[in-house]
A and B are shown apart, each in its own frame.
Chain A
Amino acid sequence: MSFVQEAMQAVMKKAIALAPDGWIPGGHPDPLMREKHGLIGASISRIDGPLKVAGQARFAAEFPMEGLTYAALRHSTIARGRIVSLDTTQAEAAPGVVLVMTHLNAPRLKPTPPFGSKPQAAGGDDVPVMQDDRIHWNGQPVAVVLAETQDQADHAQSLIRVQYEVQGGVTSLDAARAQGPEPGKFQGELLKVEIKDAEALFAAAPVKVDAVYRTPPHNHNPIELHAATLAWEGDELRVHDATQAVAHAAWTLSQVFDIKEAQVHVTSPFVGGGFGSKTLWQHQILAAAAARLAGRPVRIVVSREGVFRIVGGRALTEQRVAIGAQQDGGFDAIIHTGLTVMTPHNAMTEPFIVATRSAYAAKSFKLEVDTVKLNMVANTFMRAPGEAVGTFALESAIDELAAELGMDPIALRSRNEPEQDPTNGLPFSQRGVEQAWKTGAERFGWETRNATPGATRDGDWLVGVGCATATYPYYRMAGGAARIILDRTGRAVVEIAAHEMGMGTATAHTQVVAERLGLSLDQVEFRYGDTAFPGLVLAGGSQQTASIGSAVIVAHRTLVTELLKLAGNDSPLAGLKPDEVGGLDGGLCKLDEPGRCESYASILARAQRETLTVEGEAPPPLELQHWSMHSHGAMFCEVRVNAITGETRVSRFLGSFDCGRILNAKTAASQFRGGIIMGLGLALMEDAQFDERTGRIMNPSLAEYHVPVHMDVPEIEVMWTDEPDPHAPMGARGIGEIGITGVGAAVANAVFNATGKRVRDLPITLDKLL
Chain B
Amino acid sequence: MRLTINGRQVEADVDVRTSLLDLLRDHLGLPGTKKGCNQGACGACTVLADGERINSCLALAVQYDGREVTTIEGVGAPGALHPLQRAFVEHDGFQCGYCTPGQICSAIGMAAELERGLPSYVTGDLDAETIELTHDELRERMSGNLCRCGAYNGIVDAIRETFGQIAEDAGKREAA
Contacts and interface: CB of A to CB of B under 8 A. Distances in A.
Contacts of B71: 55
Nearest to B136: A711
Interface string A70-90: 100000000000000000000
Given A56-B77, A301-B35, A710-B156, A223 B99 contact: yes
Given A53-B104, A55-B72, A270-B96, A711 B35 contact: no
A667 B146 CA distance: 19
Given A62-B31, A224-B34, A301-B35, A502 B96 contact: yes
A150 B95 CA distance: 28
Interface in B95-132: 95-101, 104
A674 interface: yes
B95 A54 contact: no
Contact of B95 (A45, A151, A671, A711): A671
Contacts of B15: 149, 151-152
A51 B81 CA distance: 10
Nearest to B95: A502
Contact of A713 (B41, B90, B153): B153
A304 B156 CA distance: 26
Given A53-B81, A502-B97, A151 B147 contact: no
A223 B146 contact: yes
Interface in A475-503: 501-503
B87 to A, nearest CB: 9
Contacts of B22: 149-151
Interface in A283-320: 301, 303-304
A675 B152 CA distance: 12
Interface in B138-163: 138-140, 142-156
Interface string A134-149: 0000000000000001
Given A54-B73, A54-B78, A151-B18, A59 B150 contact: no
Interface string B25-69: 110010111111111111010000000000000000000000000
Interface stretch (A247-255, A598-606, A615-623, A699-707): A699-707
A501 B98 CA distance: 10
A149 B18 contact: yes
Nearest to B22: A150
A504 B33 CA distance: 22
B78 A703 contact: no
B32 A54 contact: yes
Nearest to A224: B98
A49 B40 CA distance: 26
Interface string A114-155: 000000000000000000000000000000000001111001
Given A46-B89, A54-B73, A703 B41 contact: yes
A406 interface: no
A151 B38 CA distance: 12
B96 A56 contact: no
Nearest to B16: A151
Contacts of B79: 50
A223 B39 contact: no
A708 interface: yes
A684 to B, nearest CB: 14
A677 B150 CA distance: 6
B96 A710 contact: no
Contacts, number: 197
A716 interface: yes
A272 B97 contact: yes
A516 B135 CA distance: 42
Contacts of B152: 673, 677, 708, 710, 713
B91 to A, nearest CB: 9
A271 interface: yes
Given A151-B15, A271-B96, A501-B96, A54 B148 contact: no
Nearest to A305: B39
Contacts of A565: none
A486 to B, nearest CB: 27
Contacts of A568: none
Contacts of A667: 92, 95
Size category of the binding interface on chain B: 35 or more
Instruction: Classify the interface of chain A: helix, strand, loop or mixed.
Output: loop
B32 A150 contact: no
A221 B148 CA distance: 7
Given A225-B36, A707-B146, A270 B89 contact: no
Contacts of A589: none
Nearest to A676: B150
B146 A54 contact: no
Contact of B153 (A150, A155, A503, A673): A673
A223 B44 contact: yes
Interface string A148-164: 01111001000000000
A271 to B, nearest CB: 6
A273 interface: yes
Interface in A687-719: 701-703, 707-711, 713, 715-716
A55 B5 CA distance: 15
A363 interface: no
Given A49-B89, A702-B41, A708 B150 contact: yes
B18 A222 contact: no
A709 B143 contact: yes
A715 B144 CA distance: 18
Contact of B100 (A53, A58, A675, A708): A53
Contacts of A571: none
B172 interface: no
A57 interface: yes
B148 A53 contact: no
A294 B151 CA distance: 41
A669 to B, nearest CB: 7
Contacts of B81: 50, 53-54
Nearest to B159: A710
A584 interface: no
B10 to A, nearest CB: 17
B38 A303 contact: yes
A593 B92 CA distance: 40
Residue from B32, B78, B92 whose CB has the most chain A CB atoms within 10 Å = B92
A707 B145 CA distance: 11
A678 to B, nearest CB: 6
B17 to A, nearest CB: 4
Contacts of B145: 709-710
Contacts of B98: 59, 222-224, 272-273
Given A673-B153, A710-B156, A223 B36 contact: yes
Given A50-B89, A716-B153, A710 B31 contact: no
Nearest to B104: A53
B37 A701 contact: yes
B18 to A, nearest CB: 6
Given A55-B31, A671-B95, A715 B153 contact: yes
22 contacts: A45-B90, A45-B92, A50-B78, A53-B88, A55-B71, A150-B22, A271-B96, A272-B98, A273-B96, A304-B37, A501-B95, A666-B92, A677-B152, A707-B148, A708-B152, A709-B145, A710-B140, A710-B145, A711-B143, A713-B150, A715-B156, A716-B153
Given A54-B85, A149-B22, 14 more contacts: A53-B85, A53-B88, A54-B32, A54-B75, A54-B78, A56-B32, A57-B97, A150-B26, A666-B92, A670-B151, A675-B150, A703-B37, A708-B152, A709-B144
Interface of A: 45-46, 48-59, 61-62, 64, 70, 149-152, 155, 220-225, 270-273, 275, 301, 303-304, 501-504, 666-667, 669-671, 673-678, 701-703, 707-711, 713, 715-716
Interface of B: 15, 17-18, 22, 25-26, 29, 31-42, 44, 71-73, 75-79, 81, 85-86, 88-90, 92, 94-101, 104, 135-136, 138-140, 142-156
